[in-house]
Structure 1
Amino acid sequence: MFNVAGGGAAEVVPATAVRERHLQELVERNMEALLGVRFLASEYSTGPRHGGRIDSLGLDENGAPVIVEYKRGQSAGVLPQGLFYLSWLTDHRAEFQLLARERLGAAAAAQVLWSAPRLICVAESFTRYDVHAVREIQRNIDLVRYRYFGHELLALETVVSVTSPAKERRAMRKRDRAATSSAQPCAAGGPLAELREALDDVLVSLGDDVTQVERKQYRAYRRLRNFACVSRTHKQHVLVYLNTDPQEVDLVPGFTRDVTNIGHHGTGPLEVRLRTETDLERAVPFFHLGYAAA
């Protein structure tokens, strides 16, 4: 990274946090903007039996419980520590839901997605052994590298993001096709099912860090944050909600719509309505914008 103010080019050298706690406090103050996670608690005690403190607890935009662990330098110990706390979390669901209810309200607590609790590890760097271990473990884990540039810039880079195994994704597709077929018995495996499958292929292919989260009303595609949500509630077309600023695109009636102030399932202020493969091709640039913003 270079500072080109005044016509020159001065390199801005990356640096680590002065103290781990400084990094943690910064992320917690801005957790929703940085990670797409609503902050719940800091240094949360796991009680005398487990004898630990979870750095940060939160709830992501799909309702999944989130543990965030930080390391100022290299990742030594952060992954096994985070897995220990992840196991604690799944054994203390009632305690977490009570916390979510106190901080975010009854509606948020009632929608907690226990099928996909997440661990986010934030560190200066990770080893290849960390990356390999995460892929082998097949839990919902994100390894995120941070860098400071000067006093005003913080960069977060996803090193690896893992959710469900490929076989589960295939099962998800099978369920989607079955749902479409039951809704349209005369068009089993017809155009709408094919369009949904083609859309899935396009969204997954945007990057190696794309993962999916299943909710009853929608399927989310995310990096650290959601960039697209595909609604399950429409039978005549496919609605996609993107993490894209509607003011950055030319809205076309019947194809794209600003839903910033309109309630809908999933996240994202830009609605894209797909009816045909041609619509899908037209929408690809919007998908790229959403992916880049996540």
Structure 2
Amino acid sequence: MADLKLYNTKGGVTELMPRLADAEADVQSIVEGNMEKLLGVRFLASEYSTGPIHGGRIDSLGIDENGAPVIVEYKRGTDAGVINQGLFYLSWLMDHRAEFRHVVRDRLGAAVAAQVLWSAPRLICVAGGFTRYDVHAVREHRRSIDLVRYRFFGNEHIGLETVASVTGHAPATSAACRRASAMASGRRRDSAMKELAAAVEEVLLGLGDGITRVQRKTYCAYQRLRNFACVCPPQQAKLLVYLKADPQEVDLVPGFTRDVTVLGHHGTGDLEVQLRTERDLERAQDLFRLSYTGV
């Protein structure tokens, strides 16, 4: 983001100079007030106390769109301690699951609390900068960690850049992901659907760096900080992919794309793409890219 230049073109061209926040609390306030839009995380609590024994406070507590617990830690500038501090709180959280479920239940209801995904807890560090040692360190941990760099531009703009994003648990192979989905759907896939599912995964993971995958019982999510695609098990010889793209901005084709904004479905995203053949996958690649670049 250091090389990014932002200009105001109203009444001429004026460069908006990037700057750090005056105080860490300024960043925290903006993110907490808009956490779902900025990070794809539903806000639960601010400055959450870990009790008298641990004697700490978690900057922000949340739950992401896949149901994974999320801890967000902030630093005004570059601070080598932010990752270790966040991992300390993440370990505390894993030892206090009932307490976290209670917070979720009070804030979002019993149904959400019952679906917490404990296999994929996340730490998101939002800071003014990270060193190359930070980036290397997160790749060595067994936790899911996102490093997000911020900058303010003028008084009305903020920019966020994902510096590193890693999945802590060992990535499932394509076959393992398909087997989990097959168990959830309760039926076998034929060879054509297996090949199509593998091709879809290859395309989604190949869209860029830092893409992580989260396996749930009813869908497999692909995310770059936030979900951009969710793939459901095959039904009636087709794969359903849900994308974070505005259906109003897409030419919908019956039998291929559908607006599901007001329809219930597994996964996240308002645009449904139906894939039956490799040809459908070729047609869908521009939509995949649209969703990926939009999150």
Q: TM-score, normalised by structure 2?
A: 0.94
Aligned to 2:31: 27
Note the alpha carbon deviations across 1:86-118, whole angstroms, 9 max, x for none. 000000000000010001100110010000000
Aligned to 2:247: 246
CA contact (8 A) 1:180 1:193 kept: no
Q: Does 1:259 align with 2:260?
A: yes
CA contact (8 A) 1:199 1:280 kept: yes
Find the partner of 2:93 among 89, 93, 97: 89
In structure 2, what is the Cα distance between the partners aligned to 1:178 and 1:268? 22
Q: Does 1:277 align with 2:281?
A: no
In structure 1, what is the Cα distance between the partners aligned to 2:55 and 2:168? 30
CA contact (8 A) 1:122 1:145 kept: yes
Residue 235 of structure 1 and its aligned partner are, at CA, apart by 4.6
In structure 2, what is the Cα distance between the partners aligned to 1:35 and 1:177? 26
Cα 1:180–1:122, aligned 2, differ >3 Å: closer, same or farther? Answer: closer
- The two structures, once aligned, show a CA RMSD in angstroms of 1.9
Find the partner of 1:65 among 63, 69, 79: 69
SS at structure 2 position matched to 1:155: strand
Aligned to 1:13: 17
Q: Does 1:151 align with 2:155?
A: yes
Map of 1:180-219 to 2, 5 A cutoff? 183-184=187-188, 187=190, 190-219=191-220
Q: After superposing the two structures, state which structure 1 stretch, 3-12 or 13-22, moved more.
A: 3-12
SS at structure 1 position matched to 2:60: strand
Aligned to 1:102: 106
Q: Does 1:53 align with 2:53?
A: no
CA contact (8 A) 2:20 2:77 kept: yes
CA contact (8 A) 2:46 2:61 kept: yes
Residue 167 of structure 1 and its aligned partner are, at CA, apart by 5.2
Higher helix share: 1
CA contact (8 A) 2:204 2:222 kept: yes
SS at structure 1 position matched to 2:172: helix
SS at structure 1 position matched to 2:173: helix
Q: Does 1:160 align with 2:161?
A: no
Residue 11 of structure 1 and its aligned partner are, at CA, apart by 2.1
Q: Does 1:120 align with 2:117?
A: no
Cα 1:178–1:38, aligned 2, differ >3 Å: closer, same or farther? Answer: closer
Cα 1:132–1:289, aligned 2, differ >3 Å: closer, same or farther? Answer: same
CA contact (8 A) 2:222 2:230 kept: yes
In structure 1, what is the Cα distance between the partners aligned to 2:293 and 2:157? 18
Aligned to 1:40: 44
In structure 1, what is the Cα distance between the partners aligned to 2:184 and 2:100? 35
One-letter amino acid matched to 2:149:
R
CA contact (8 A) 1:212 1:222 kept: yes
Note the alpha carbon deviations across 1:230-275, whole angstroms, 9 max, x for none. 0126251000000000011100000000000000000000000000
One-letter amino acid matched to 1:57:
L
Residue 179 of structure 1 and its aligned partner are, at CA, apart by 4.9
SS at structure 2 position matched to 1:34: helix
In structure 1, what is the Cα distance between the partners aligned to 2:8 and 2:49? 46
CA contact (8 A) 2:243 2:272 kept: yes
